[in-house]
Chains A and B, each alone.
Chain A
Amino acid sequence: MVITSLEEKKPNKSKIIARNFDLFYGDFQALKDINVTMPQNSITAIIGPSGCGKSTFLRSINRMNELIPSVKTSGEILMDGEDIYTQDVVELRKTVGMVFQRPNPFPKSIFDNVAYGPRAHGLKNKNILEELVEKSLTDAALWDEVKDDLHKSGLALSGGQQQRLCIARALAVEPQVILMDEPASALDPIATLKIEELIQNLKKEYTIVIVTHNMQQAARASDYTMVFNMYPDRSGYIVEYGETSQIFTNPREKTTEDYISGRFG
């Protein structure tokens, strides 16, 4: 008799699906045949050695890679069944928000930082804006710390606060998916844990994909884990994808085992 885990599993609708997705920087193939399905309202962590294409894949999901002229892709990435590469890119980025490695608030007031996205999408009504800013800051667990200083520059906040401001800024455009590229790597441990807790709360409303080079963080903060590695020609592929509890206790692949137990290379 095999005894399985005690955790309940609720099947989620799939939100993002990559099918035979390839990506090239000029002649260099950075991603090879990526196939993966990410469920809605879940947190998917992407881990793997550096340079194996984690960020590249993440940036493919909101087409930020297109800012680099040499990038070519093939295969498809579907969101709610629709190919994102045939959608309008501005619309897509409204639905798929992004938080970066280093906190990057604009040199504007806290209020204007959060209101930036909604304003860009045409929201002018002051009352609605104020409400939205408050809700976003509250959801990003920052409201109580800044509610009296909304006119202060976002750059005057601490690193951890800045990162939460950036999360609030992303939330304010009411996306469905939030991509995070090593969002806590520039933060101290307490700020890091705050962000992780925050992410747990956010998954009720959003689907979250987070790149991290911190294995413990992936184990703590995610529901699913995607392990990337690269072939000898340095192109990245998915070694294994599964529930985080399985990946970190009983991975199927030797490469995963070696990587997560720190015996890689």
Chain B
Amino acid sequence: MNTSLTNEKRFALRKKQPTPKQNLKRRKLSQKIAFGFFWLMGLIAIAVLFWIVGYVLAKGASSINLEFLTTRPAGGFDGEGGISTTIVTTIYLVLFTIVIAAPLGVGAGIYFVEYANEAQNHNKFVRWLIKTARTGVEILAGVPSIIFGLFGFAVFVSYMKLGFSLLSAGLSGACMVLPVIIRTTEEALLAVPDSYRQASLGLGATKWQTVTGVILPTALPGIVTGIVLSVGRIISETAVFWVTLGGSYRLPQNLMSSGRTLALHVYMLATETRAFDKALGTSAILIIIIILLNLAINITSRRFQKRLSGK
């Protein structure tokens, strides 16, 4: 407290202060204004979202029927045919990409969180390597997907002569989702309380037993969430696969076959044909799939919370 103030001055200053009652009124008012503002913003965001989704679903619904789903695209300026092969190709690509990216990403995440600290006091080179890898993951997570596409085109398609193929696309897609999987894995592992590790090690379990016995089971829903997010990324990606998967609408016969995913199909229908209604129909299917995926994520993470709280 400022002791140089005379008592009169202090008294005068205090008189200028609002009374507690006025003050409470003011505070309540500013609270109301802020609350109203955020409420409005939220409302607008949701309205826009519903508008887009609603528009696509409503316009696309007319072209969706069993035939649309079960016949292959026939090409042409009018975008003949359905989308059956693109659904299958999407599934192939998702499976292939995840089979490559998940073990790598989860493994890297486990290493970064559970083991990298230990290596730190061993070797200068190892330490440098870990630091570089960490930075690399950070950077890759922010890179636009077309860069992955160009990289895949340059390395897999051209240099390694894999051509436009499921293999090239899967490898490129894996590069794209790897940072996502690593980071969500890291986050899931970091969310596992340290006390679990200490308890397990304190019982005489080895590090590896601790990782497999306690940490991974606890973090699994989080890790799965990351993988499901990656699936979403692959399903909705166009740029990368445009330059690595080619665009054949035939059913892929093997890993070296070219193909066309749902998202690519939407892009091609919209840019190269007049079948805008079919593009919307395919989009509607895509949106439904994405919504289902998000539901799946919600359910797993809710399970995760339940498990942690023991209900």
Contact = CB atoms under 8 A, between A and B. Distances in A.
Is there any pair of Cβ atoms, one from A and one from B, under 8 angstroms apart in the complex? yes
A69 B214 contact: no
B308 interface: yes
Interface of A: 62, 64, 67, 69-70, 90-94, 97-98, 100, 102, 104, 106-108, 116-117, 119-121, 153-157, 166, 169-170, 173
Contact of B204 (A100, A117, A153): A117
Given A92-B204, A93-B201, 20 more contacts: A64-B202, A67-B201, A69-B117, A69-B121, A98-B202, A100-B198, A104-B195, A104-B199, A106-B196, A106-B199, A107-B217, A116-B214, A153-B311, A154-B310, A155-B309, A155-B310, A157-B310, A166-B199, A169-B199, A173-B203
Contacts of B120: 69
Interface in B97-137: 117-118, 120-121
Nearest to B215: A106
Contact of A116 (B205, B309, B311): B205
B193 interface: yes
Nearest to A101: B195
A156 B204 contact: no
A156 B310 contact: yes
14 contacts: A67-B201, A69-B117, A69-B118, A90-B204, A90-B206, A104-B195, A106-B199, A106-B200, A116-B214, A120-B206, A153-B307, A154-B310, A156-B310, A169-B199
Given A100-B195, A107-B310, A93 B204 contact: yes
Contacts of A153: 307, 310-311
Nearest to A62: B202
Contacts of B218: 106-107
A140 to B, nearest CB: 14
Contacts of B214: 106, 116
B62 interface: no
A67 B198 contact: yes
Contact of A104 (B118, B193, B205, B307): B193
A156 B203 contact: no
A70 B204 CA distance: 22
A178 B204 CA distance: 13
Nearest to A95: B204
A102 B198 CA distance: 12
Secondary structure of the B contact surface, majority rule? helix
B267 to A, nearest CB: 44
B198 A104 contact: yes
Contacts of A94: 203-204
Contacts of A121: 204
B60 to A, nearest CB: 43
A156 B307 CA distance: 10
Contacts of B213: 116, 119-120
Given A69-B121, A107-B218, A100 B199 contact: yes
A64 B201 CA distance: 8
Contact of B205 (A62, A117, A170): A117
B311 A156 contact: yes
A102 B195 contact: yes
Which of B121, B307, B310 has the most C-beta atoms of chain A within 10 angstroms of its own C-beta?
B310
A59 to B, nearest CB: 9
Contacts of B204: 90-94, 117, 120-121, 173
Contacts of A107: 217-218, 307-308, 310
B259 to A, nearest CB: 42
Contacts of A106: 196, 199-200, 214, 218
A119 B213 CA distance: 10
A93 B195 contact: no
Interface in B118-171: 118, 120-121
B209 interface: yes
Nearest to A70: B121
Interface in B75-115: none
